[in-house]
Structure 1
Amino acid sequence: MVSGLLVTIVLLSVAGYTVYNSEKSNMEKQMSLQTTIMTNNLEAVLRDAMNRVELAAEIINGKIDAGQWLNMPELEEYYSNLVSRLLLPLAEDAPDVERLYFYFNSPLVESDIATGAVVSKNAENSWEARTDKSLEMGKNGFTPSNPDASWYFETLETNRARWLEPRLKQTGTGPKYVISYVMPILGKSTILGGGGTEGKDILLGIVGADFNASLIQKYLETLDIPEGSLAFVLSANKRVIGHPSLDTSTGRLDDESAAQIESFTDTLGEANVAEEAFYTVDDMHLTFEETPWGQIVGYAMPTSMITAPVWATIWRILGGAAAALVVAAMLGFLFGRRLARPIVEVTRVANKMGEGDFTETQIKEYSGEEVSMLQRAISRTLENLRTMLKEVWDSVEQLAASAEEVAAGADESGRGAENSMEQVRRVTEAQEQERKIGEELSRLVTEGRKLVDSGMELIKSLEERHDKQMEVTDEGVRLAHQSEETVRVLDTMSEEVNSSFAEVTESMNKIIGMAETISSIADQTNLLALNAAIEAARAGEAGRGFAVVAEEVRKLAEESSEAARQIHGYIGEITPRVKKAESSLSESKEVTKKGTKAVDETRKAFDTIHNSTQTAKEEGNAVAKALENLANTYQEIERKLSELNEGRAVVVESLENLSSVASEQSAQAEEFAASSQTLSEMAEKLQSQISTFKIANED
């Protein structure tokens, strides 16, 4: 009964596990297929919306010459009026469009206002086209750092079309939850000579459209979703843009749905949606798939759709098991009585066998094919056991003899292994001592090599210093020669200046003489003029003109006398200065002579330093050569030591192998000894145990 229950439990477990995996696999395949279909349908919906924006871009590109706009930004308002009227029919034909717009790339032309053409619905739910000049650079949050303005600045910067995150936007007909698609427009200039822009791509601006989230809601309503399952759509940043309970005027879900979506997104985390995966959250089995533009399509099914078939299978198995138990009980009752008596007889013989009595040779026979088969099997077993026990007795005696021989061989092998291990130990100790000596020698060689390298570096440094000293010495010798030549020139110039000063002194003496002569002549002229004035006065009216001339001559004589005195004064002031200059020049001449001597001695000292430096450099080169030879010697020693270490490593490895072999041999000898002891004990024990069995009848 118990075994039947156990079998039933095992069958239930296996069946339940098999059915569960099968149903789960089928469900995941169904979910994967459904998610793929949903994603393809959503891509078609989004592609239609994108085509409308791309069509608007083509219309704008066909009406605005990018080169003309680049050269004349003041045409933006004219172009905006034109474009807004052209975009009006395109917006009226799209029921889910809330706003269609185009804005110029104002930063490119350094404009303070982003001028745009906008088509949107007014309060009367009618479409209107207008020019928008409300977006001023750097004002009212219209800056590159403001996320709300990223639709403009980031799109211009990346030059890439994209879907924006959903947002709640105030429209002419009230607040709406919208999703937007924006794309840059590249135009070309058709104006020849337009500043080198003709034929080149020019980032003209941005065109975009705001779509009501009902666009996604309508798409979800067309899906064939089983009852209890859920289909939803998330933006690239996992914000809900499609859900059966989404309010498209506020962008909100009811509390229960919001909590469920939050648990779904938390489970998704940072996982790669592109990789197919399945998750179980809050009794829901879900999976995700991503569109090429980043939107995430989610699909969830209740886990009960997996467990229901499992429980149905378990109940079917339980019913079958109960019926099988009833049938088994009835059959057991019918066949139990027929099998009881022969089983009792077989049990009697088996008990005697358990007591070691194998002398029973006959079993009473009963009718029934099954019973006869059981009796014949027991008889054969009894005979086989009797024969086997005889063979075991003979084998045990042979085993005891073999165990003694193995013990003797194991003892001899153990002594040989111990001798081998002792020899290996001695060789290993000698090898270890040799290794330490080699390591010490290698260390000394390495230190010597380092000292040689340091010496080489020092010699190299000294050589560089010698070269610099040679250069400085050569420069000093050159400057000494130059100074010596300069001093000679100064000496010559001093001689010339001294001679010039002598000539100046002589000239000043002459000037003094001439000044005294002029002064004497002026005094005489003054006296003559005075006499002439007296004579003119005596002459009366006839001598008046002569008196005037005499007065003028007297004045000139006085001025000449005054000039002579001034010259004499100037010469008196100059004479001490000239004498002082002559004295200084004489002292300078003496100093110049001493300088000439010092420069000559300096030049000789530089010559001596140059020769000493040259000698030191040659000696340093000789030392460097010797150090280089020593370094080569150390390198050769290191190479030999390396070869010695390699040979020693081989020897050590061989010794380790030999020691390992000796250890294994010793261990095997010990195992042989232990095994032989065990065999002896087993043989004695088997002999003792077999002796308890009765194989033949005792007389």
Structure 2
Amino acid sequence: MKKAMKQSKLIAVLNGISIFALILMALLLLFYANVDKKLSQNNEDRFNLTYNANRFMNGSAYLTNEVRAYAATGDQVHYDNYWNEINNLKNRDQGVAAMQEIGITSGEQSMIDEMSALSNKLVPLEEDAMNNVQEKKLQKALDYVYGEEYSTSIAQINSLKEQFLSALDTRTAEEIRTLNLRLTIIRILIYTALVLVGVIQLVVMSVTRRKILHPIIAVRDQMGEISMGNLSAEFPLESDTSEIGMLVASIHETKKELKNYIHDIDSKLAQMAQGKMNLSIDTDYRGEFLPIQNALRQILDSLNLALSQINHTARQVSDESEQMASDAQVLSSGAAEQASAIQELSANIQSLSSQVSSTSQDADNARKTSMDSAAQLTACSKKMEELTSAMADISESSQKINGIIKTIEDISFQTNILAINASVEAARAGTYGRGFAVVADEVQSLANKSSIAAKDITKLIENSLELVQHGTALSGDTTEALAVGVSGSQSTADLIQKIADSAQQQALSLQQLTDGVEQISDVVQTNTATAEKSAASASELHKQAEELKQSVQKFQLR
């Protein structure tokens, strides 16, 4: 197996370089931001230094101009401006303080000190000039401010100003140029790191595709062929010491082992198909294929044992089947005799069953007739009970009529009394009461007739009550007699029902007995046919057993 760098190590190296380039680029970006901030600060400081230097110089020039203007004009305004600058504005002092705060070199500070010293030398001359102006000695004042000493000092101060501004501008410009150069270098390094990261990523993609993806695709296709059972498919990859190379080696080894196993199994099964059962499994299977080896051994052992037992059993079956054929013939003869006896018994039982069925039918008809009679007697008994109840109601109504008749008699009696009273009152009334007397007579006559009619009705009702009571007694006796008849009829119906049930039970039992005999007959017939078939089958079994022995003897057993 040839040596090769592992894909994980190669990818780790390339990713490490890429990460290093990214970290370097991040540091360069931070450094670039820092330098850019310094550049902005230096530009701001340069502007402020220049501004404050001009402020310092303009303050000095302003004092010179105000002194000269005051000496030339004598105008108090220039005098005030001068002292306002000295005492209040102090542009020179503030400009120097601002430049010192920003930062200046020692050379620049010495030039400022020299200019300050020269300015301080001019102060006495300026004060003398202003004093002469106040004394109205303008020419003398002009001699002071335009004299050789004053002009020489001003010229020296202006020369120092130019030197200071030039040195300041040169220094700050050089710092800015240095920072700009640094920014340019950092940008170049950032672009270089970015390009390096891009190149590394392209290399990683190329290596991943060439060293990982293509081999993995080939491995996937090869495993697909293996999963479909194709172990002869071409696999162009070669094994090496890398991870994928080791995977390729495993696939080659797997295909080789599978082919060996399949060839061995195919060979063994082919020999077994040819009847060679005295084989031995001598190929060593590995891993999960070890159960296949054990299974082949168990199959061979089981087949040897089973075929040996089959051979032994075939001999026994051949012997026993011959004896079975003889016994089956005897059994067939006995079954035929049983079938004849059972058929005769079945005919006798069917005749008896027919007679019992007829008796059961007659008992059932008698039961139905008795039940109908009992039902009719029961209906008559109910009607008599209703008649007795009606007679009782009639008797009760007659009693109520007696009360009504009594009321009619009372009304007739009262009407008669009323008629008598009316006659008396009519007699008292004389002529005027004659008509009322006639009415009273008619009312009295009507009351008498009502009393007579009530008495007649009372006699009739009393006769009716006697007849009703006699009818009620007769209906009660009749009801009791019918109740006794219904009870006897019900008892008769129950006895007939028991007889019918018993006859039906006997008929059912005979039917079951008939069915059982028929079943026995069928079984006997079946046994007869089965015995005959058994005899034939035993002969055929003997023949097949002989053929089985010859077939088993073809196998080469251990």
In which range does the TM-score fall when normalised by the shorter chain?
Answer: 0.3 to 0.5
TM-score by length of 2: 0.35
Larger relative contact order (Cα-Cα within 8 Å, sequence gap ≥ 6): 2
Greater helix fraction, Structure 1 or Structure 2: 2
Q: Which has the larger radius of gyration?
A: 2
Richer in strand (by share): 1
